[in-house]
Amino acid sequence: MTVLKLLGALALLMFGMKAMSDALQKMAGPSLRHVLGTMTTNRFTGLLTGMFVTVAVQSSAATTVMTVSFVNAGLLTLAQAISVIMGANIGTTLSAWIMSAGFSFNITSIVWPFFLIGIILIYTKKFRFFGDFLFGLAFLLFALGTLNMTGREMDLAGNPTVVNFFSSFDSGSYLSILLFLLIGTILTIIAQSSAALMALTMVLCTSGVLPIYLGLALVMGENIGTTITANVVAMTANVQARRAAFSHLIFNVFGVFWVLCLFYPFVNFVCGLVGIDPSAETQDPTRLSFGLAAFHTAFNVTNTLILIWFIPLIEKIVTKLIKPRKSEIEEEFHLTYIQQGIIKTPEIAVLQAQKEIGIYSDQTRELFDVTRSMLAQGADLGALATQVDHLEDRSDRMESEIGHYLSAVSDSHLSDLTKAKIRFMYRQINEMESIGDSCQNIGRILKRQGGNSKEGGKLTEAILNSLDGLFDLLAQSLDHMDEVLGDPETGVDTNDRSLVKERCAALREQNFAWSSAGNYPFGISSIFNDLISECDNLSSYIENVEQARRGGKEGRSI
């Protein structure tokens, strides 16, 4: 039961950290996105940004994944991302200090008010995210208190088997240090939480069974293992995002390397700062927990002070080591701003998806322009129709990829505002896909000209001139749609849909008059009428996209 209590407390600690991080990211909302996107003008501001954002969200993994997302979206350069990741490594050391405080006194006695206030706020709509944060903080503190008490209950120092096991490792041997470094790395990769392993390390050290040297080796292993999260997430991202994630690994591995070279002098120096003698047989448990936190901070701060001057070199190294995939070089179709792996932070995901919809709009306009070129006299209708089909296939793929991405984001715990944004985004891409279908239908209708005796030849010059005016209105509508997608406050008073409806009604009357006068056979009249109807449908889809974008404004604007 004691072992189960220990494992359960670790699970509760991980849950509390995640709940706090999620709640803080939701409270920060667009501000967090703005900070990461704008406050990285140089390596030093990037460092401070990464540090403060990580302190705010209490998760270096969240900051690193957001940074990789920005690189993937083209909002940060690789050099800027490396500086932010360095800052995140410093910011995450605050978690170790919080844990060391939890091992210093019975912290569970103060958590109950947090639970009470948190549950009250959760049931209020205005402050529910702050309630989520308090609940996560309460779980975190309760888990730390439980770990502290469980460690004492286990009385590991009085268990000969445990004592003999750890005594079999010579803390003065580099081989033992390397072994525990490897163990720390593997356990962090498995648990996907450096915080959980840090807490377990504190339990072992404060219990008196794990020498401080071996405990610090575990801490170094945690620093390597924690880099795996971003690298796993970046596997499906573009090459720059993969390079940013890999730079995190290089940064921590280099830090571990130089610390190993100076391990005992460096550890003795840091321990001396908090009043610990690493060679002493008996240690003050409180000082040991602070010693672990101090080493974690000294490791990351010193490593950053060394490597911040070599960011250009790190950039060159990761660029040389991480090459673009063959598909990234040769594949014509790819999403620019989003990849399926980057879905850790809903706010960033929504920004990326909306930017990708802007790209989708550009692709749709290209499809329309190719379709319109089929109106030209002497145009190769077969070749152009094939190109239209190709572009429409790409439109379908874009809708599918963006839709799947939004679906993956929807699986997260989202705010009501973010849920509403995603609903409107679904409608935007559905309506844009319908625009593509209409363009393809127009291409197929135009291809019917002269196909057999029933159709009776080609569209007359008068019909083509009339359609050219209608297509001018549609092109204008698409321009306004693109403006609205970029800024939903623009183009609100346009009456494009009304103008197209009026023009279509007039052309239907004109078609009837010309056909009745015998200007062209019934087959041409049928083609003309079908084109008018499809253009009318296309105009309706454009209007629907604009309405969906305006409906998805946060506050109301994204």
Round to whole Å and give the CA distance between 259 and 226: 17
Round to whole Å and give the CA distance between 466 and 470: 7
Round to whole Å and give the CA distance between 438 and 418: 30
Round to whole Å and give the CA distance between 13 and 11: 5
Cα dihedral 149, 153, 154, 156 sign: positive
Domain spans, the chain: 2-321, 346-551
pLDDT tens by residue, the chain, 558 residues: 766 776 787 777 667 767 766 675 666 555 555 555 555 556 777 787 777 777 655 556 666 666 766 666 555 677 878 888 888 888 877 777 777 766 665 666 677 887 888 888 888 877 888 788 788 777 777 776 676 666 566 655 556 666 677 677 777 788 988 998 998 888 877 766 677 777 778 777 777 778 888 888 888 888 888 787 667 766 766 677 788 888 888 988 998 999 999 888 998 888 888 788 777 766 666 677 788 888 888 988 999 899 888 888 988 898 888 887 655 544 445 566 665 444 456 667 777 788 888 888 988 998 999 898 888 766 678 888 888 888 888 888 888 888 888 887 776 677 778 888 888 999 999 999 999 999 999 999 988 876 544 545 688 888 988 998 999 999 999 988 988 888 877 655 568 889 999 999 999 999 999 988 888 888 888 999 999 999 999 999 999 998 888 875 543 333
Name the residue among 467, 419, 477 with its Cα closest to residue 445.
Answer: 467
- Asked whether the whole model's pTM tops 0.75, one would answer no
Collapsing DSSP states into helix, strand and coil, what is residue 173? coil
Q: Topology of 346-551 in CATH?
A: Methane Monooxygenase Hydroxylase; Chain G, domain 1 (1.20.58)
What do you get for the CA distance between the two ends of the chain, in Å? 50
pLDDT of 218 reads: 87
Do 98 and 377 contact (CB within 8 A), yes or no?
no
Q: H or E segment at 515? A: helix 496-516
DSSP-derived letter for residue 75 is S
pLDDT of 338 reads: 66
Helices and strands counted in the chain (H then E)? 24, 0
Cα 368 to Cα 439, 450, 478, 537: the distances in Å are 6, 23, 9, 14
